[in-house]
Structure 1
């Protein structure tokens, strides 16, 4: 059920601005509830307070929610457009990637990244211009940061079987979430041990050799709650050279030390062993979307992609080699350990301290070079939340500080055409750091029963220092070039929100939010030609966004939420690919741009009496993003020319996307527990280049699913669950992910036309053809 804000149910309906105290530390311990789980995903939690109705306005009803309630899903940053998806939306299906968790969330789209579970999750277009990971978002899990200090977060860690739900906070959000929260934040919530209450074993299997074995252990009582999850998934992939094996471990432990002290331990480990195809041009995609018959590049079929590798690994002759023959892939490990301590000074004030260590070690021969190195990051935060009253109205004050630090050292090596991603000479190396020191403050005042106002201010000081050494080789020897970046950034982010509930059925909200994102070290060292070099002039991107929204809830069977947004960007960081035989995407600042659109979500039970198990879920997003001030300079070997992009659409952004899911679950009778859904997903076509010359075609997909959860009256059979689903029923050929491509200048001084851009490589991955999946799970 979508929710905009923290809210408490009162006698006349949903009141925005009233406070929900889910449970005190003592009450939580007594019920087995995790008090920390009642925290917003920023890491802040409600102080453990219970008060009588007499201490609040007469209209307010105080509710205590204990046991296995979904309290975390109902607490969100006040005034910020927020949607949630829980296990009922994704727990009965194959659950291969995070895409299965967010498919029904308005404002969220997804694309294929570099690897089987590397899903690019985009909020209001945040990641539509990326080739991997979750960008321009702060990502958390159970309140612990999953985004490293350079803004990098990846979805490889996420196996949906381990999770209870996900909350998405949409719009500029740096006041609370700090650097890189340009388009908001996402918090993933793992399952609670008390809810699992035992051991679950499961297997998923299906097309293209996919097989996932997983186990979940859950235990909990008055003093602790433990969840342990492990999975191993492997498959052949549907594109040549896309076989993979990924293992994940996820642990969460909460211990109540005393009635006023709690600790939460978090551990996540992921190993990704995946071979990778290369991204195609639009022409190659149309000719051979799944890259079949391409192993031998010299006699490859039409539409095959290849990389040009130095024969001796240093200089001179190059040889076209297929991804299979070269051995391109990703062989990465990510380990995260976090510890949080919560202390209640009294019934009104809570102090939280948290430490997280995050190591990412990469070995990525993904193109003409192999990228190798460790990334160690540390995150420390401390915050205090206090409840008080002003003029009889509740006031929540929140203040916190945080510090995160990343040190890295990587090397890149030329790949030789010998198979197995054989390394040649070193191409470059880079060493450096990035740290962010931030503070945030927020006042949340319920100044009247039906009114709620929030004001806040956050700021971050960032320091980025890095040195890159470039190596070039010739018959006469080795030459070195040094590039140094020492940049300092300071950004502020104020915000304000106002929420009004005029009646039981309506809630209205408006918000002005701001955000910022500094460049990362990786942006500094790739030139417009897609090669390692100097790009150290980049500025921070900043945004100011206005949201105006409403939620209509006339009956328990209808909930509709819609928000219009208008966001103004300065120095927006935009990335684009220069082709497959380059080392990465080039990043530039667009001086001014605007994002505007509408997000709509609906949840409807059309026939609650005759078909109580029928339900319709709809999510739709319109996202219009344009440059309002940007001049691009294109060059060839003899001339350079400038082209204004003012009024052009920002490439990579899907202007319209829709998900409609028609569900049915039999609530009683002989078929109780039997259910399924039919789902239609539509993505509009979108531009691939700054000149708005070439589009990626849109698509529509139909998915079907059926599942069975036997009722408790069937005895031991109740412990079994099974499902079967068909994805892409009509067997459509479609684009699952496409990165921006660079425009070019012809010898005549004119821009290259769409027919030329169609042959620009390094952009497109095809989506899966028709696929069948099944699974079974047993609770012991």
Structure 2
């Protein structure tokens, strides 16, 4: 293997930060006007409202006055706080997607099995169909995104959380590598929030069954909360049953007023059958792939995959997802700790370290991937609140390092007899590392004006090799692709906030983001097989946000944000064909522009309306695509074409009523509409998948139980997709092809018949549950 490239620490960045912090010598804490409180579209309030003045960030057991994390109450950021009440506590949240649609800018796609979802912010990951990328995910301040940029949401059970913050737009100045689209920060419930224990059960259509347990308590210097769940279901498609278990622990110890220790543990085990992705034509005939047990007797519209009869080369045998026993067996384990020390009344120093392993075994479609990805991270940061040049200020500086050691293999699949493996066709050995620093200053220029400046610099390296094996009757040949890549990225950010009175805030922001290629994308070529794709470049974006948060009148909160983002070398991922691996390439230039609107209106006693709307227009501005078929090669200019996978319009609108007082207090319900526009699935914009609108109804009841063993009972039921609409829940972007004789592009009819793209969304589904608190 090639020698590992030396990393250049971003020492110059860290050296500059203390200059800004050194002026903060006053003991006066920065006033609350430093923080912009953006609209929260749920009933529980915004990030600032949750933290409260002087509260510690992310529920760490700490005495009043401990400094919150800088990401807990960030000035100028476009953040939506999704709270527990109204979104998690009183509805059967079967996946995190049920909850995150409350935020403008969020697009969801059904992932590969069980409660796996692919999350996109401002369309930056809307083309992906498995792993979530182009954003950073944290839980209780600890990274959940691995050093290769991958996040998965199998391990996320919504029941565990009290709040989720959605950061929209380029965020690398605050979160570093991969934050081109934004960030998600999850906050689990703390021991003092739970103060006892809870047991619950949800059950519903298609064999859905969820058992969960929560316990939490604070006692003296100790605080602990533990969540555990067992979730399983048969799925609404053929070959889509799943079984997953999750454990989530948050514990803290405060031995003295100025020292706090936090422990975080997450473990998730998943076994999930994987249904077949169909073509648009097959979706219209058989959206849920019913009657597809065997290829020989399959119903019309069933998707089949050609597996080598001998698992290596030669004739292929068509199999359905059931015959092929397509499945995932994955495990994710995170163990992390943090020490916080108050140097003085205004300065907090933190050090956190962690271990994160993703282990997967995925024998589905025409190949089977197996891999172990142990990763490690360490971060140290310093936060100071006080004055700079006589002005209230918050300064923050951080240094972070992460690395992942990847050992992965790819096999052909063999037909029949369960999830049998065929010949080995790829081996990967890679180390990916990131070393960087970040600095941020929030400065109150005047009682109504706050300015923000931030910057990050990060050195990333990918060192590895991929060996591929081609098997024929003549024998086996092999090839080696080597990667020895190093990337240095810098991301500045500037923002200004004007708050003329407590009910109005105007904000402007210019920010940048970057995302380096992942090891996986470097080793899949345009044919969708293991190979050489090592020339990928860093994806970068420059974004402009202009927005306002205001209260028009008592009870109505409104947030409006316009954004315009310029991308260079944007990652575009698409499927070369049925059952093949997704291939990633760089589009030289593109633009994303749109509007986000969030509203919360308490228009009468007990009544509440909520709105989350996004307009997102994404186009290529510089991209010439080269397509080959046989000996014919042709080039096509995609400038002005819409980027696949991104709906222009999407909407969540909800109206609900909760009895405010009297004997029926605690009884409530709501109706909500989730709607999404149609979108293209190919670069030539020949084929669109249709949009949809679905109606969901909810009823819930919560009441104290003063005379029983339990303290409280929560009951809830939900009917989703009430009108039983058949719609596309996920569509994998497709590669355009040409005629091997004429060189002309194949049109809509060919794309509509190309399999490997579409999962149907769930049909009419009923789920109900109860929770007892003790």
Same fold (TM > 0.5): yes
Q: CA deviation at 1:388?
A: 3.1
Q: 1:554 to 1:5 in 2, by over 3 A?
A: farther
Q: Single out whichever of 647-656 and 498-507 deviates more from structure 2.
A: 498-507
Structure 1 residue 398 corresponds to structure 2 residue 428: no
Give TM-score, length-normalised by structure 2. 0.92
Instruction: Report the Cα distance in structure 2 between the residues aligned to 1:366 and 1:15, rounded to whole angstroms.
Output: 42
Residue 61 of structure 1 corresponds to which residue in structure 2? none
Is contact 1:16-1:507 (8 Å) kept? no
Cα drift, residue 635 of structure 1: 1.1
Contact 1:232–1:247 (Cα < 8 Å) also in 2: yes
> CA–CA distance in 1 between the matches of 2:33 and 2:752?
42
Aligned 8 A contact 1:4 1:82 in 2: no
Could you give the per-residue CA deviations for residues 420-463 of structure 1, whole angstroms, max 9, x where no partner exists?
Answer: 11112211111011000010111111111000001111011010
Of the candidates 738, 747, 751, which is equivalent to residue 745 of structure 2? 751
Equivalent residues in 2 for 1:74-85, closer than 5 Å: 75-85=72-82
User: How far did residue 614 of structure 1 move?
Assistant: 0.6
Cα distance in structure 2, aligned partners of 1:34 and 1:241: 53
In the other structure, the counterpart of 1:474 is 472
Deviation at 1:77, TM superposition (A): 2.2
Distance 1:196 1:15, change over 3 A: closer
Q: Aligned equivalents of 1:732 and 1:649: distance in 2? A: 27
Q: Residues 25 and 567 from structure 1, CA distance in 2 versus in 1: closer, same or farther, beyond 3 angstroms? A: closer
Residues 587, 25 of structure 1: CA spacing in aligned structure 2 closer, same or farther, 3 A cutoff?
closer
Aligned to 1:23: 54
Q: Distance in 2 between matches of 1:29 and 1:241?
A: 42
Aligned counterparts, 1:55-454, within 5 A: 75-88=72-85, 89-454=87-452
In 2: Cα distance, 1:488 partner to 1:205 partner: 50
Matches within 5 A, 1:315-714: 315-582=313-580, 584-607=581-604, 612-711=605-704
In structure 2, the partner of 1:49 is none
Q: How far apart are 1:477 and its partner, in Å?
A: 2.0
How far apart, in 2, do the equivalents of 1:738 and 1:24 lie?
43
Change (3 A) 1:144 1:31: closer
Contact 2:33-2:448 within 8 A present in 1 as well: no
1:65 aligns with none
- Given that residues 643 and 680 in structure 2 are in contact (C-alpha distance below 8 angstroms), is that contact kept between their aligned partners in structure 1? yes
- Cα 1:164–1:563, aligned 2, differ >3 Å: closer, same or farther? same
SS in 1 for 2:159: helix
In structure 2, relative to structure 1, the CA distance for the partners of 1:215 and 1:29 (3 Å cut) is: closer
CA distance 1:15–1:210, change in 2 (3 Å) = closer
- SS of match in other structure, 2:290: coil
Alignment of 1:6 onto 2:3: no
CA contact (8 A) 1:40 1:143 kept: no
In structure 1, C-alpha distance between the alignment counterparts of 2:52 and 2:613, rounded to whole Å: 33
Q: Which residue of 1 aligns with 2:69?
A: 39
The 1-side partners of 2:351 and 2:508 are apart by 32
CA 1:25–1:231: 2 relative to 1, 3 Å: closer
Corresponding residue pairs, total: 734
Q: Answer whether contact 1:412 1:427 (CA < 8 A) is retained.
A: yes
CA shift digits 1:121-170 (9 cap, x unpaired): 11101220101232100000000000001100001011111110100111
Q: How far did 1:184 drift?
A: 1.0
What is the distance in 2 between the residues matched to 1:259 and 1:510? 38
- Say if 1:196 and 1:24 are closer, same or farther in 2 by CA, change over 3 A: closer
Contact 1:30 1:222 in 2 (8 A): no
Question: Residue in 2 aligned with 1:765?
Answer: 759
Is 1:774 matched up with 2:771? no
Q: Distance in 1 between matches of 2:620 and 2:81?
A: 31
2:296 counterpart SS class: helix
Report the equivalent of 2:12.
none
Structure 1 residue 670 displacement after superposition: 1.2
Does structure 1 retain, via aligned residues, the 8 Å contact 2:60–2:252? no
Describe the SS at the equivalent of 2:113.
coil
Q: CA deviation at 1:525?
A: 1.2
- DSSP-derived class of the 2:703 partner: coil
TM-score by length of 1: 0.91
Deviation of the 1:357 alpha carbon = 0.5
Which string of whole-angstrom CA distances, capped at 9 and with x for unpartnered residues, describes residues 615-650 of structure 1?
000010000000000000111112111100000000
Larger CA deviation: 512-521 vs 109-118: 109-118
**What CA RMSD, in Å, does the superposition of the two structures yield over aligned residues?**
2.3
Q: Return 5+ residue gaps in structure 2 as ranges.
A: 1-31, 39-44
- How far off its partner does 1:29 sit? 9.6
- Which whole-Å CA distance do the structure 2 matches of 1:194 and 1:493 have between them? 38
